[in-house]
């Protein structure tokens, strides 16, 4: 079993390799939640996530023969990049198995770090099974994404960094996939200060650790469904499960809407790009799943490698949620000047039109009418109310779309 000494050793090994990522107090979230909220910004780490820590520590400890033969791993993206980059730094060949639906951004990045990429299976677990079989056939070292002493020790160095900068920390909120990150952080912080609360957060659609802890045994999930692909793991393993049982105080879940909202607010308020898996800790705080009034709370932002198409969708949905982007459906007579009058209303109140869609070929409107869907930017609720008032005065039939 891993010890705190292993984490201390990893801390020294990683000093010249990794970035000591910022631990910054967020004025916005602190005021909003009435807590002292600090963000551990591992999204700014080399390769865009914390995974380089465990991957490098593991490969560093291989024998020269094992390094010469090469390594293989399975990953939804971040561990892949960590293994690829760490291997290249040490002159080791690496092969990475990734689920077939992995974000293209992560696949491209993994290849750019020097790995050979193989797309296999629907989930991480499927890719891991294929990777292990390949490792046996080729006599390569399999670098597990989380269930490994050296990997866990590497991730645990984040706990030492947090305590060094904020020794008065009361609670640390950590994303959970397979459990390697929270296991290492929890062991480090509980050793340094046993009273610190360690809270794990899983996606509602992939809560394997939570169910396992509740039932006091490892419980495999039959299926997983979440935008947080970085923590979409069906089954925790023996080492991470045992460490979680011993050191983790609680595990909560958040749904995809809560995750998306946290990502949007991080981007808007702190200018940080954080992937879904990395945002679950803050999502739990914002949705009141966790509350530590007037305490020092650290949310670990574990990664920033987000699919750009997903990020675009989350930004637009976030703007709509916060009334900065509005989509309105209008039923109007299909005749000249009607659209001009509608656009004049929007222009006069200072709204910027983003898109316009006409649909004459729908049975949803009477013959001689047209359905117009307009997407426009606003300054908030007051401006929307002004627009609605103008529409009512002109007897325009409209419906605000959510």
Yes or no: say if 317 and 264 are a contact pair by the CB < 8 Å rule: yes
Annotated catalytic residue 208? no
Which is the catalytic residue, given 49, 75, 123, 302?
302
| Residue 242 neighbours by CB under 8 Å, 6+ apart | 1
Please state, in angstroms and rounded to a whole number, the distance separating the CA atoms of residues 130 and 139: 14
Yes or no: say if 162 and 297 are a contact pair by the CB < 8 Å rule: no
Residue by residue, DSSP assigns 357-401 as EEE-S-TTS-TTEEEEEEEEE-SSHHHHHHHHHHHHHTT-EEEEE
Please state, in angstroms and rounded to a whole number, the distance separating the CA atoms of residues 229 and 103: 9
Helix (H, G, I), strand (E, B) or coil at 142: strand
Strand partners, 13: none
Annotated catalytic residue 237? no
Which is the catalytic residue, given 26, 40, 49, 51?
51
How far CA 388 is from CA of 225, 352, 356, 395, in Å, comes to 38, 15, 18, 10
Catalytic center residues: 51, 302
């Amino acid at each position: 079993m891993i010890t705190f000494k292993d984490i201390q050793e990893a801390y020294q090994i990683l000093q010249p390799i990794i970035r000591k990522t910022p631990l910054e107090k967020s004025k916005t979230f602190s005021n909003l939640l009435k807590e002292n909220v600090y963000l551990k910004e591992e999204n700014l780490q080399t390769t865009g996530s914390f995974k380089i820590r465990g991957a490098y520590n593991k490969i560093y400890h291989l024998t020269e023969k094992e390094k010469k033969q090469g390594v293989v791993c399975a990953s939804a993206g971040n561990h892949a990049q960590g293994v690829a980059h760490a291997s290249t730094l040490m002159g080791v060949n690496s092969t990475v198995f990734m689920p077939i639906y992995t974000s293209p951004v992560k696949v491209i990045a993994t290849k750019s770090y020097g790995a050979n990429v193989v797309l296999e299976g629907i989930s991480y677990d499927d890719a891991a099974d294929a990777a292990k079989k390949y490792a046996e056939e080729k006599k390569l070292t399999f670098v597990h994404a989380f269930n490994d002493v050296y990997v866990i020790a590497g991730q645990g160095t984040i706990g030492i960094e947090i305590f060094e900068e904020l020794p008065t920390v009361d609670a640390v909120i950590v994303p959970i996939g397979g459990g390697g990150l929270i296991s290492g952080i929890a062991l480090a912080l509980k050793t340094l200060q046993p009273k610190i609360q360690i809270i794990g957060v899983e996606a509602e659609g992939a809560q394997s650790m939570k169910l396992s802890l509740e039932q006091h045994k490892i419980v495999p999930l039959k299926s997983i469904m979440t935008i947080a692909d970085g923590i979409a793991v069906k089954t925790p393993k023996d080492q991470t499960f045992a460490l979680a049982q011993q050191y983790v105080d609680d595990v909560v879940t958040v749904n995809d809407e809560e995750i998306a909202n946290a990502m949007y607010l991080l981007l808007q308020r702190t200018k940080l790009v954080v992937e879904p898996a990395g945002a679950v800790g803050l999502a739990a705080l914002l949705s009141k799943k966790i509350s530590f009034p007037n305490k020092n709370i650290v949310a670990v932002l574990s990664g920033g490698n987000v699919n750009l198409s997903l990020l675009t969708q989350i930004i637009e949905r976030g703007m709509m949620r916060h009334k900065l982007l509005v989509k309105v459906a209008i039923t109007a007579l299909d005749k000249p000047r009607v659209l001009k009058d509608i656009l004049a209303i929007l222009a006069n109140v200072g709204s910027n039109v983003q898109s316009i869609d006409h649909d004459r070929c729908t049975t949803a409107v009477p013959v001689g009418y047209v359905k117009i869907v307009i997407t426009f930017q606003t300054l908030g609720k007051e401006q929307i109310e002004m627009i609605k008032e103008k529409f009512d005065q002109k007897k325009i039939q409209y419906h605000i779309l959510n």
